[in-house]
Amino acid sequence: MEQSGTPLTEINFDGIVGPSHNYAGLSLGNIASASHAGDPSYPRAAALQGVAKMRGNLARLGVQGFLLPLPRPNGALQSALALDGTEPPQLRAAPWSASSMWTANAATVSPAPDTADGRCHLTPANLVTMLHRAQEWPDTQAQLRIAFGDTRHFAIHDAVPPTFGDEGAANHMRLCEEHGAPGVEVFVYGKPGGRFPARQHEQASRLVARTHGLDPARTVFIEQNPEAIAAGAFHNDVVSVANGRVLFTHAEAFADQQGAYDAIRAAFPALEVVEVPSSAVSLEEAIRTYLFNAQLLTLPSGEMALIVPEECRESPAVWGWVEQMLAGNGPIRQVIPVDVKQSMANGGGPACLRLRVVCDPATVDPRFLLDEAKADLLERVIAAHWPLQIDPSDIGTQTLADSVIAARLALLEALDLAQLG
Ligand code: SUG
């Protein structure tokens, strides 16, 4: 950013894991969510893992933001569902979901250099495919309106109308020479008809691009590989991630892999593809370890680092490929594992937990920006108020409701954000 003299930089806004974090098996097509259904969860450990990840990136990048857990249990949804104890447990669990922690699904973000009016545009994701996620967007929007409330620099839209499913930044990538320069935005959608839902609808992606005022010459729409969705890549960010000039992708991410590279390269000739072949890491192993659900960061030195889940180091196939890649001279020079196991067990890796916003940090409400002292504060509040453990039988009880409501209010209070209460 210094080279160009622009104050625009990339800020990762991580979702603080909410006090109701639990495993209810709510996401059809998300293998981790299904396989951990009914397990006890550890909200305090989950939230502390998230803060530790943020601390690492704050030290690496010098800037880090966060978004807050949404109000749970959601009383309005509970009433609308007419719960009387005869309903299936998954319906009862939906109003309790802490799924807003995965802020890659909070919104799609188009930075100012890409948009017609020179503002950074954010569209909250409607998340209509899953009941427990569809409740998020109005509260997410309320929070975005505070964090990015400076309308000279930001435009916050309404979510895409149903029935076009929109899952936000998880299906959106940006290629650029540097964050503050005009970029090429790549939207990845799925076609329905497979064994699992295709959560991102092509028309939702196109609508977001139009709303944001993107230049059609610098906007690319690509179909996700139906086989990747069938294997459990319910979002494209489970099989590819982009940063700067680099697209880091599994060889089976897109319906037409070569066609996808060609389309991106036509709009962005400097594209560098780092492709992992299926012979090195199968689609299944990529999805199990979340190698691609990584944060691909440009460090102040100019080098790129990949922040991956610990699970990658434990996989001989994945780590073997990583070591081979590092021994070469590709653009990714460091691979750094982090422990986000509590989130991973619900299908959320390091990249799911963050929303990237390219902007001038001075234009963001500082209450949403992290420094070391605030990380200490977050840890203290979490350690004092977050439940240690939630068992499936706790969901729906007044005791747990009282404790998660009080925990969130303690956090809002500590951050001077009681207005979100
Ligand atoms: O929408 N899991 C989330 C995981 C989201 C991951 N985000 C990205 N790939 N960007 C989902 O499937 C599980 C909740 C439960 O089963 O209790 C869940 O919602």
Give the pLDDT score at 253.
98
> Is the CB of residue 24 below 6 angstroms from any atom belonging to ligand 1?
yes
pLDDT tens digits, residue range 378-408?
999 999 999 999 999 999 999 999 999 999 9
Q: Looking up tokens 């390219």, which residue turns up?
A: 358
334 contacts: CB under 8 Å, gap ≥ 6: 299, 303, 304, 305, 306, 326
Number of the ligand 1 atom closest to the C-alpha atom of 24: 17
Dist. CA 76–CA 95, nearest whole Å: 9
Distance CA 157, CA 343 (A): 28
Pocket test for ligand 1, best of 13, 20, 26 (most atoms within 8 A of CB): 26
Cβ neighbours of 326 (radius 10 Å): 14
pLDDT reading at 315 higher than 60? yes
Is the CB of residue 102 below 6 angstroms from any atom belonging to ligand 1?
yes
Question: Got the DSSP string for 114-127?
Answer: GBTTSSEEEEE---
Q: Which residues, including other chains, have CB under 8 Å from residue 80's CB and lie 6 or more apart?
A: none
Indicate which atom in ligand 1 lies nearest the CA of residue 22. Answer: 17
Q: Which of 332, 256, 317 is nearest to 284 (CA)?
A: 317
Q: How confident is the model at residue 42 (pLDDT cuts 50, 70, 90)?
A: very high
Q: List beta partners, residue 67.
A: 15
Q: How far is the CA of 155 from the centre of ligand 1 (A)?
A: 26
- Per-residue pLDDT, averaged over 333-360, amounts to 98
Concatenating the DSSP letter of every residue in 289-333 gives: HTTTS-EEEE-TTS-EEEEEEHHHHT-HHHHHHHHHHHHTT-SEE
CB 24 within 8 A of CB 37: yes
Q: The dihedral of CA 417, 359, 133, 18: what is its sign?
A: negative
Instruction: Please work out whether the CB of residue 100 comes within 6 Å of at least one atom of ligand 1.
Output: no
Ligand 1 near 66 CB (within 6 A): no
CA dist 115 and 348 (Å) reads 30
9-37 per-position pLDDT tens digit:
999 999 999 999 999 999 999 999 999 99
| CA distances, 252 to each of 52, 236, 348, 399 (Å) | 32, 11, 20, 46
Q: What is the mean pLDDT of residues 105-112?
A: 99
With a 6 Å cutoff on the Cβ, whether 167 touches ligand 1 is: no
Q: Which helix (H) or strand (E) holds 335?
A: strand 332-338
**Residues 13/101, Cβ–Cβ less than 8 Å:** no
**CA-based torsion, 13, 18, 24, 26: positive or negative:** negative
C-alpha span between 172 and 392 (Å, rounded):
34
Q: In 117-156, where does DSSP find H-type helix?
A: 131-134, 137-147
Q: For 164-176, what is the mean pLDDT?
A: 98
Asked whether the bond before 73 is cis by omega within 30 degrees of 0, the reply is yes
Q: Pick from 412, 419, 390: which is nearest to 403 by CA?
A: 390
391 vs 395: CA distance, rounded Å: 7
Q: How confident is the model at residue 5 (pLDDT cuts 50, 70, 90)?
A: low
| 98 C-alpha to ligand 1 centroid (Å) | 9
pLDDT of 3: 42
Distance 30 CA to ligand 1 centre (A): 7
Give the angle subtended at the CA of 213 by the CAs of 212 and 219, to the nearest 5°: 90
Catalytic residues: 167, 235, 352
Q: Which atom of ligand 1 is nearest to the CA of 347?
A: 4
What is the chain's length? 421
171 ligand 1 Cβ < 6 A: no
pLDDT of residue 1: 38
Judged by DSSP in three states, 65 sits in: strand
Q: Write the pLDDT tens digit of every residue in 263-298.
A: 999 999 999 999 999 999 999 999 999 999 999 999
Which token pair is 222? 């690509």
Angle subtended by helix axes 398-414 and 372-385, to nearest 10: 160
Domains and CATH numbers, the chain: 9-420 (3.75.10.20)
When pLDDT is cut at 50, 70 and 90, the band that residue 223 belongs to is very high
Q: Residues 94, 77: contact at Cβ < 8 Å?
A: yes
Structure token pair of residue 109: 């973000």
- The pLDDT tens digits for 185-214 are 999 999 999 999 999 999 999 999 999 999
Dist. CA 99 → ligand 1 center (Å): 6
99 lines ligand 1 (CB under 6 A): yes
Q: Ligand 1: distance of its center to the CA of 151 in Å? A: 31
CB 311 within 8 A of CB 344: yes
Ligand 1 centroid to Cα of residue 324, in Å, is: 31
Residue whose Cα lies nearest atom 7 of ligand 1: it is 352
Residue 332, beta-bridge partner list: 304
Choose which residue among 67, 129, 235 to substitute to test ligand 1 binding: the one with the highest number of ligand atoms within 8 A of its C-beta: 235
